[in-house]
Amino acid sequence: MADDQHHVAVDHGVEIPAPADGEVWAVGAVILNQDGKAFAQKRSPDRRLFPDCWDIVGGHVEPGESLMDTLAREVEEETGWRLRRVRRLLGIATWTGDDGDGTRREADYLVEVDGDLDHPALEWSKHTAYGWFGPEDLSRLKENRAPGEYLIHDLIAKAHT
């Protein structure tokens, strides 16, 4: 996937952290469609982390991968679309999952993709549904989440500003 890197446009001023040794990083992509709605997919109920919750596209940075390589790989693996442009950094969060992998840092980006946005190629073993969320739909992103676990809701809300 690294050879695809030069096809991705990164807007001026977008911060791309370089993970330090020993740091565990993840990336997330808020993908907007032509109507300005954001893509989210529902994690299957048997997932260890955040079961049956809405999530954005993303995943863990593998050893030797840059954040942009991971972003491009995850977009393609989880949707079949191709990352075209990184518009802005929405935020960097630090969180700890209940999977024993310790603290992670997550950089979340507002991105544009190429592909058939009406027909994402979901990983159905990991996700059970998908949807497009505008400002009026944001409360649905809080389903099965405790207060304080509204990262996805807050990221998508921020993407609409």
With H, G, I as helix, E, B as strand and everything else as coil, classify residue 129: strand
pTM for the predicted model, two decimal places: 0.88
What is the spatial distance between Cα 106 and Cα 91, in angstroms, rounded to a whole number? 8
Report the chain's mean pLDDT, rounded to a whole number. 90
By the 8 A CB rule, do 75 and 31 touch? Answer: yes
Question: What tokens does 159 get?
Answer: 């993407």
Provide the pLDDT for residue 99. 67
CB count within 10 Å of CB 58 equals 20
- Rg of the chain taking only CA atoms, in angstroms: 15
Give me the domains of the chain, ranges plus CATH numbers.
2-13+23-159 (3.90.79.10)
Q: Is the per-residue pLDDT at 39 higher than 60?
A: yes
76-127: pLDDT as tens digits? 999 999 999 999 999 999 888 766 777 889 999 999 999 999 999 999 999 9
Question: What tokens does 81 get?
Answer: 């679309």
How is residue 69 annotated by DSSP? Answer: H
Q: Is the per-residue pLDDT at 3 higher than 60?
A: no
Provide the pLDDT for residue 130. 96
